[in-house]
Structure 1
Amino acid sequence: MARGAEFLGTRYAIMAGAMTWVSERNLVAAISNAGGFGVIACGAMDPARLDEEIAATKALTSKPFGVNLITMHPQMLELIAVCAKHKVGHIVLAGGLPSGAAIEAIKAAGAKLMCFAPALALAKKLARSGADALIIEGSEAGGHIGPVSTSVLAQEILPEMSPQLPVFIAGGIGRGSAIAAYLEMGASGVQLGTRFVCATESVAHANFKRAFIRASARDALASVQFDPRLPVIPVRALKNAGTEAFTAKQREMVGQLDAGAVELAEAQLQIEHYWAGALRRAVVDGDVEGGSLMAGQSVGMVTKEEPAADIIGSLVAEAATALAERAG
């Protein structure tokens, strides 16, 4: 873990996944203050809103933290400029392959670039393009997911890429023993999202947190693509009326496509807007029936609300115990 901790500038190489509406100033600062690495979820924020959020986070912590940007954001270069203004040391790009202009701007700002690698070929491409570290996230994770499990991606990518640059593992991690296993395989650190939703410092609605505490792993299901003409990135969330409404939304968009009422790009955009709105209703407003309860399969290991420092402390202690037992 020393390699990952040195890269992040933290005590522990434990990153927090960037969760829209959840990963804001309070949780990010709490995780960084506890020795981990908090990451602001920029999501659909405009540059002025991100500027405000970074400044507010800096007021709560002097420790390093990062910013997660979505590659398809129309104001990507302006967002990078905001990060540069605040001397953000690490920028995480998610949602697809980053453009050359974005990579160049991040490098010019002096920040370290972290990218998600969903396959070995893309991991190699990202390394050649200038990524300073990679994040491997498997299908067990919450929110938008790929088709391959964390354990398979780790076996495929770590032996090839970890000698070249730090690699962080994400998706389905809920115990320190799993962290220990991935470190032994060559990872430099890990990223967790679901475990931090119920941190005391998380601003997620009490109803949202209760849903996580009550849920088991089998409740966190991946959405199903309704029609192959409308490619939709699967989303893992707790099953509720909102997931059924999403199926209906897909059916509605397919009907409009058939009627020529919308173009494919517009249909896809409406679906993404659906998820953004549904997630806000659940996290902010507490609508756990109609909103989206994005959660990873590790949700079954979320059993109570507790401070971020206690979550990190237990993860580190469990990892240390697991490694000591194997060494003994």
Structure 2
Amino acid sequence: MERGRAFLGTEHAILCGAMSWVSERNLVSAISNAGGFGVIACGAMTPDLLDAEITATKALTTKPFGVNLITMHPGLFDLIAVCAKHQISHVVLAGGIPPKGSVEAIKAFGAKVLVFAPTLALAKKLLRSGADALVIEGSEAGGHIGPVATSVLAQEFLPALAADHVVFVAGGIGRGDMIAAYLEMGASGVQLGTRFACATESIAHPDFKKAFFRANARDAVASVQVDPRLPVIPVRALKNKGTEEFTAKQVEVAKLLDTGQIEMGEAQLQIEHFWAGALRRAVIDGDVENGSLMAGQSVGMVTEEQPVAEIMAQLMSECEAALTR
């Protein structure tokens, strides 16, 4: 974990996965203050909103934290400029291959760039092109996911990359023993989202948290892709009316594509906006029936509200006990 700690500038190489509406100033600062690395989920924010969120987070912590930007955001370069203004130390590019010039624009103001890659070939290409670290995320994760399990990705990527690169493992990690296992395989650290979603400091609605406490791993299901032309990245969330509504939304957008009323880029954006709205309904308004309850399969290990510092201490003591054994 030493290399991950040095890379992040933290006490523990534990990143918090960026969860829209959840990974905001309160949770991000709490994670950084507890020795981890908080990450603001920019999601569909405007540059002004991101500016305000970074300012508010800085007021709550003096420790390092990062910003997660979605590569398909139409104002990506304006958001990068906001990160530059605040001298953000680490930027995570998520949701697709970074567009031309984005990695360079981030590195230009001295920040480190973390990227996701679904295949080993693409991971190598992104690292050659200037990315400073890689997050490999398995299908057990919550939110947008790829098709391959974390354990398989770890066996494929870590032996090939871990000696020369900083690699974080994400997806389905709920206990410190699992962190230890990936560290032993060569990972520099891990990323957890679901485990922190219901922390005391999380602003998520009490009903959102209760839905997590009631759920088990089987309840966190991946969305289905209705139309092969719509490049919809599957999303893992707790099954409810909202997951059914997403299927209907895809049908609606596909029809608009058929009739030429919208272009492919606009179609993708409509899908993203659907998720942003559905997430807000669940996280902020507490509409757990119609909103989106994005959760990883480790949700069954989230059984009560705990302060972030307690979760972090528990993970680290479990990890150390496993390594000592």
Instruction: Supply the distance in 1 between the matched residues of 2:97 and 2:255 (Cα, whole angstroms).
Output: 31
Match of residue 43 from structure 2: 43
2:10 pairs with 1:10: yes
Instruction: Supply the distance in 2 between the matched residues of 1:180 and 1:35 (Cα, whole angstroms).
Output: 17
Q: 1:83 to 1:303 in 2, by over 3 A?
A: same
- The structural deviation recorded for 1:95 is 1.1
- The structural deviation recorded for 1:46 is 1.4
2:231 pairs with 1:225: no
Structure 1: runs of 5+ lacking an equivalent: none
- The structural deviation recorded for 1:38 is 0.2
Match of residue 118 from structure 1: 118
Letter matched to residue 316 of structure 2 = V
2:247 pairs with 1:242: no
- The structural deviation recorded for 1:198 is 0.6
Instruction: Supply the distance in 2 between the matched residues of 1:266 and 1:253 (Cα, whole angstroms).
Output: 9
Instruction: Supply the distance in 2 between the matched residues of 1:66 and 1:266 (Cα, whole angstroms).
Output: 28
Could you say what secondary structure the match of 2:101 adopts? helix
Match of residue 108 from structure 1: 108
8 A Cα contact 2:5 2:11, kept in partner: yes
Structure 1 segment 200-279 matched on structure 2, within 5 A: 200-279=200-279
8 A Cα contact 2:107 2:113, kept in partner: yes
Instruction: Supply the distance in 2 between the matched residues of 1:112 and 1:79 (Cα, whole angstroms).
Output: 15
Match of residue 169 from structure 2: 169
Deviations along 1:103-131, whole A, 9 cap, x unmatched? 11111100111111211011101110111
% of aligned pairs identical? 74
Instruction: Supply the distance in 2 between the matched residues of 1:143 and 1:291 (Cα, whole angstroms).
Output: 13
Deviations along 1:45-82, whole A, 9 cap, x unmatched? 11111111111111100100001111112222221121
- The structural deviation recorded for 1:267 is 3.2
Q: Which moved more, 1:145-154 or 1:246-255?
A: 246-255
TM-score, structure 1 normalization: 0.96
Instruction: Supply the distance in 1 between the matched residues of 2:252 and 2:47 (Cα, whole angstroms).
Output: 33
- The structural deviation recorded for 1:229 is 2.6
Match of residue 198 from structure 2: 198
Letter matched to residue 186 of structure 2 = G
Structure 2: runs of 5+ lacking an equivalent: none
Instruction: Supply the distance in 1 between the matched residues of 2:151 and 2:267 (Cα, whole angstroms).
Output: 34
- The structural deviation recorded for 1:99 is 2.5
Match of residue 76 from structure 2: 76
TM-score, structure 2 normalization: 0.97
Match of residue 25 from structure 2: 25
Instruction: Supply the distance in 1 between the matched residues of 2:53 and 2:121 (Cα, whole angstroms).
Output: 35
Letter matched to residue 128 of structure 2 = R
Instruction: Supply the distance in 1 between the matched residues of 2:260 and 2:110 (Cα, whole angstroms).
Output: 47
